[in-house]
């Protein structure tokens, strides 16, 4: 099993969750020289279009486009993500093996129950991973500095927004890698909300909305329960005005 240490781990319930909500941030971190890993908790087997095998290939291609060091796919059950002790231990093992400084995961209140459960189980496991008395395959305890939540259907007030303007095209190429899921005139299968052209237009519109709030073209919003420390208050608002 890959034991590569990374700076950041991104968790998603389904293949494409991370790309849609935080793909620009993945690409930006990689561009800055950070090591990034991606973990899907399910195979996306309940999706109306495509198949788990197709989505796995699409996910691997998307991860390559973003520059992730690796991507793993777990089997917690699409359409009913399991969140018991067995699943916590699996995530604890991942956190201890890769020792991320920061973990990103879906916000814990969302329209899709899988997103909610994923946010909860990853948050809990990230804490438990730091308990030294908890034995998991001989791996040393490790607790990330913070768990940061990306937004999907519901959008709470953002704690901070990342300027992803310079990597926006990379993000959208990664999203487009999911040819079975999103707008693609050549794709076969029933029409869904995700496959309609307006869905991708909404993704761009939301990014422009959050980008405008920080004086950028595109932005990705995040929520944290522990606000980040700002060293340069003036610099944080460079180029903006009340």
Residues 208-235 have pLDDT tens digits of 999 999 999 999 999 999 999 999 999 9
* Six token digits for residue 61: 């291609």
Residues 74-118 have pLDDT tens digits of 999 999 999 999 999 999 999 999 999 999 999 999 999 999 999
Q: Residue 160's closest CA among 150, 172, 145, 146?
A: 150
Instruction: List strands edge to edge, sheet with 160-163.
Output: 70-73, 36-40, 8-12, 102-106, 146-150, 219-223, 160-163
Write down the pLDDT at residue 193: 66
Which 3 state secondary structure label does DSSP give 123?
Answer: helix
Q: Residue 45's closest CA among 37, 56, 60?
A: 56
CA distance 32 to 145: 19
Give the class (CATH, top level) of 8-225: alpha beta
pLDDT tier for residue 47 given thresholds of 50, 70 and 90: confident
pLDDT tier for residue 167 given thresholds of 50, 70 and 90: very high
Query: Which one is predicted more confidently, 116 or 50?
Result: 116
pTM (predicted TM-score): 0.94
Q: Residue 160's closest CA among 59, 236, 232?
A: 236
* Six token digits for residue 11: 């968790």
Which 3 state secondary structure label does DSSP give 130?
Answer: coil
């Amino acid at each position: 099993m890959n034991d590569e240490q990374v700076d950041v781990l991104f968790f998603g319930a389904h293949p494409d969750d991370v790309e849609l909500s935080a793909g620009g941030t993945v690409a930006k971190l990689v561009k800055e020289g950070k090591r990034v890993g991606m973990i899907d908790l399910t195979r996306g087997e309940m999706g109306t279009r495509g198949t788990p095998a197709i989505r796995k290939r699409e996910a691997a291609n998307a991860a390559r486009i973003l520059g992730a060091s690796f991507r793993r796919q777990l089997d917690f059950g699409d359409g009913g993500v399991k969140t018991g002790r067995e699943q916590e231990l699996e995530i604890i093992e991942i956190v201890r093996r890769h020792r991320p400084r920061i973990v990103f995961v879906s916000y814990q209140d969302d329209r899709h129950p899988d997103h909610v459960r994923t946010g909860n189980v990853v948050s809990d496991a990230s804490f438990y991973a730091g308990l030294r008395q908890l034995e998991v395959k001989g791996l040393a305890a490790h607790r990330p500095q913070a768990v940061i939540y990306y937004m999907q259907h519901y959008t709470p007030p953002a704690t901070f927004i990342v300027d992803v303007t310079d990597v926006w095209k990379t993000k959208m190429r990664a999203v487009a890698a999911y040819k079975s899921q999103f707008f693609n005139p050549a794709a076969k299968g029933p029409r869904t909300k995700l496959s309609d052209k307006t869905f991708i237009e909404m993704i761009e519109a939301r990014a422009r909305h959050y980008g405008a709030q920080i004086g950028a073209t595109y932005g990705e919003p995040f929520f944290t329960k522990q606000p980040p420390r700002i060293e340069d208050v003036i610099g944080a608002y460079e180029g903006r005005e009340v």
